[in-house]
Structure 1
Amino acid sequence: MRPRFDGPRPPRSTTFTAFGLASETEPLAPGLHIVATPIGNLRDVTIRALATLAAADAVLAEDTRVTRTLLAHYGITTPLVAYHEHSGETVRERVVARLREGEALALVSDAGTPLVSDPGYKLVQAAIEAGIAITPVPGPSAVTTALVAAGLPTDRFFFEGFLPQKAGARRNRLEALAGVPGTLVLFESPHRLPEMLADAAAVLGPERPAAVTRELTKLYETVRRDTLGSLADRFGGEGPPKGEIVVVIGAAPATERATDGDAALDAALRAALERHSIKDAASLVADETGQPRRLVYARALALAREAGG
């Protein structure tokens, strides 16, 4: 039975069990606590996260079944309340009302850090507007875990999340990402991985270094490192893998990047866009300037958006 937002709540234990020892929690400050949870291996949770989850008045969970497994593993009995992408304004208002009353609520996602490719930001915005304290409780993240496992540069990276599902929109988005001067980190569903890799190889170039990480921190964790072209061929032949997928793609070589500050390129594109489609304008300017076609196309898309095209 789902806990109610109103009415008396029965007494409960505010302890958790870790390393075989039961620990009593300290009172939690009122407000919304954003708690990172394991992305697979339950032992990756932090002591502070456990203490927060045990002491909170309720845990707002993306999927209460998933979070219940984590809480039960550590002997935590805090009530669970569903909060996910389908939760509407009414649900947010009820949560904010509880926060206004001085409750301490913990927000978690199914795995990793809330708000990263997750709907929790709407609740955080509402809480901030209501003057509620926001407390981050950092911990696991699939983004950084995949990044450090890939063996690609980590000084600059761009998290894209999920690419569009349809091929045309996906390729357009990849074109826009082509000139990003940093490592790309993307989420992808297993059944779409082969076609996404094929599109990435075609748009970004087959020689770009990349890694496909699967089931990070879990028993069957695997990391495949190769060029985009080789990975596309491999997964195209094998078919979709199983499990959670994060793809990491190396940045374009500096000599291939079309930057926002290239005034001559922008001027040429603006002139071409007055007479041609984005695709044709990019093709003409790429031929004229000698710059890589995919990067010129990405800049043409950006200029068209700025102009409202």
Structure 2
Amino acid sequence: MQHQTGVLYVVATPIGNLGDLSPRARQVLAEVAAIAAEDTRDTRRLLAQYGITSELIAYHDHNEATMTPQILERLVAGQSLALVSDAGTPLISDPGYTLVAAARAQGLPVVPIPGASAAICALSASGLPSDRFLFLGFPPRTSVRRRTWLAAVASEPGTLILYESAKRVLETLHDLSVVLGETRRLVIARELTKQFETFLLGTASELIARLESDPEQRLGEMVLLVEGCSASESDAAHAESIRVLRLLCEAMPLSQAAALGARLTGTKKNVLYRLGLELGLAAENAE
């Protein structure tokens, strides 16, 4: 008789309103041998709400290297376990990728139990286009790195979705204004599914003014949504990349021009290099 392995359930939990935990998620959390939780204190409060007494084990960024093999051993032995994060869907800017990837690599069954996700929740009610979007997670913490990070997605036509802490939201809005300009629509979705849920709409400067005038709007969990690059913006950016690349190629080889141009325009180095080849700039520079 073939030994049956356990199942790893990836369980989404509420992002604020505890009533959003699905009946299926409750059943799974109550029946598994153990629950791997990012913060056992937060998860214990959720489980207490529903009278769930399953074993809790800590699984987070700092211990995943040691805990992943232990969880896999339990799955191989036939125990089913659940993976949860503090709130929302695991792996979405939360720990869990290492475990899920390892379980898949060993051929162990991984079953998603869908539910809340702050990014999708915010997008669905933002009023920004939802047919194409790019989830970016948390931005870098320093302005220099953050601006470089934003420049790399400046030409993305889909709605940009990012998370930000209340203490850095004003700095990030300022960098969005500098890198992406003042014509794009932005939305701040704050305290989703909670009592003080708020959606703020406007340009980066308008939202900065709103948050500075009302400190309460700088409290709680935040999702930032940014309108994607329009066709006219994209054409203008492409024209600017060509202009910069031509100027740089007058003074240096194409490979160097592409590298420096990438830093100046935000366009990827390999894209600029191919563009230079198409325009014959390498041949011009060699003459």
Q: TM-score, normalised by structure 1?
A: 0.78
Aligned to 1:163: 139
Aligned to 1:173: 149
Tell whether 2:204 aligns with 1:228.
Answer: yes
* 83, 86, 95: which one aligns with 1:119: 95
Aligned to 1:86: 62
Aligned to 2:53: 77
Aligned residues, how many? 264
Tell whether 2:63 aligns with 1:95.
Answer: no
Identify if the C-alpha distance between structure 1 residues 155 and 134 changes in structure 2 by more than 3 Å, giving closer, same or farther: same
Tell whether 2:27 aligns with 1:51.
Answer: yes
* 41, 55, 61: which one aligns with 2:37: 61
Aligned to 1:245: 222
Moved over 2 A (4+): 232-240, 258-262, 264-279, 300-306
Tell whether 2:115 aligns with 1:139.
Answer: yes
Q: Please report how far the alpha carbon of residue 259 of structure 1 lies from its aligned counterpart in structure 2 after TM superposition.
A: 11
Are the aligned partners of 1:59 and 1:106 in contact in 2 as well (CA < 8 Å)? yes
In 1, Cα distance between equivalents of 2:11 and 2:132: 25
Are the aligned partners of 1:207 and 1:229 in contact in 2 as well (CA < 8 Å)? no
Aligned to 1:205: 181
In 2, Cα distance between equivalents of 1:52 and 1:191: 36
Deviation track 1:49-86 (CA, whole Å, cap 9, x = no partner) reads 01110111101100001111111101111111100111
In 1, Cα distance between equivalents of 2:237 and 2:53: 53
In 2, Cα distance between equivalents of 1:301 and 1:165: 24
Identity of aligned residues (%): 43
Q: Please report how far the alpha carbon of residue 128 of structure 1 lies from its aligned counterpart in structure 2 after TM superposition.
A: 1.1
Aligned to 1:224, the other structure's residue is in SS state strand
Q: Please report how far the alpha carbon of residue 206 of structure 1 lies from its aligned counterpart in structure 2 after TM superposition.
A: 1.3
**Structure 1: any 5+ residue segments left out of the alignment?**
1-28, 284-295
Deviation track 1:228-273 (CA, whole Å, cap 9, x = no partner) reads 22112333454571110100011121121269999x9499479465
Deviation track 1:254-299 (CA, whole Å, cap 9, x = no partner) reads 121269999x9499479465455856x369xxxxxxxxxxxx8121
Are the aligned partners of 1:59 and 1:108 in contact in 2 as well (CA < 8 Å)? yes
Aligned to 1:297: 265
Q: Please report how far the alpha carbon of residue 304 of structure 1 lies from its aligned counterpart in structure 2 after TM superposition.
A: 7.6
In 1, Cα distance between equivalents of 2:74 and 2:106: 12
Structure with more helix by fraction: 2
CA RMSD of aligned residues (A): 2.8
Aligned to 2:234: 257
Identify if the C-alpha distance between structure 1 residues 250 and 161 changes in structure 2 by more than 3 Å, giving closer, same or farther: same
In 2, Cα distance between equivalents of 1:233 and 1:302: 39
Aligned to 1:31: 7
- Select between 68-77 and 223-232 the one with higher mean Cα deviation: 223-232
**Structure 2: any 5+ residue segments left out of the alignment?**
275-287
In 2, Cα distance between equivalents of 1:137 and 1:130: 21
Q: Please report how far the alpha carbon of residue 91 of structure 1 lies from its aligned counterpart in structure 2 after TM superposition.
A: 1.3
Identify if the C-alpha distance between structure 1 residues 46 and 260 changes in structure 2 by more than 3 Å, giving closer, same or farther: farther
